[in-house]
A = this chain, B = another copy of it.
């Protein structure tokens, strides 16, 4: 059965792989699962038909037979449970990899997204210049801790897992900020994720949507 994702018809990240369909596409590519994509205009995301799939009116959603899922982390975990390659077989190692999935989304991502939102939404506010360094220090604290954990390892635990997939996706939001560069092992870690054939395949697929939309 070929699953169907939803993604932005007009990607606001201009095809840089920062929208939340990216980790799902990457996971699908890692496990070799073909998929279809249904592109949605912003207005359609808030319509009842889409809200029935995603209560918060966002992308991505994932439909596979009777199953309708939302939340990129949950979709990646579902794929990791259905197919080999994204979680270790050992029960304890598997639980550790899942801990990193939650960590990517609930510990690392919020301060990174908050910094991005402040630049996007509050960039013209009188407080922005004083507030941005506070936000960057919060991101720096997390990056320093992550860098110490990673040390000289290639991946968070023994081998590449869905935890790395989500964490690399989150860290890529800092591309261009200069913050990753303060921790060379994190910069190398992100590059290692981006060098995986499945990452490249997924990146090309989402980037093609933006190119087609901007050409039309």
Chain A positions 76-108 with a Cβ under 8 Å from a chain B Cβ: 77-78, 92, 95-96, 98-99, 101-103, 105-107
A-side interface size class: 35 or more
The answer for the CA separation of A109 and B114 in the assembled complex, in Å, is: 13
Interface of A is mostly: helix
Contacting residues, chain B, for A109 (C-beta < 8 A): 106, 110
State the number of copies, please: 2
- Residues A105 and B105 in contact, CB atoms below 8 Å apart: yes
Nearest 9 CB-CB pairs, A to B?
A127-B127, A55-B149, A74-B99, A71-B102, A73-B102, A105-B106, A74-B102, A67-B92, A110-B110
Q: Give me 10 other A-B pairs in contact (C-beta within 8 A), A56-B107, A74-B102 excluded.
A: A51-B148, A55-B149, A56-B103, A67-B92, A69-B99, A71-B102, A78-B98, A106-B106, A109-B110, A125-B131
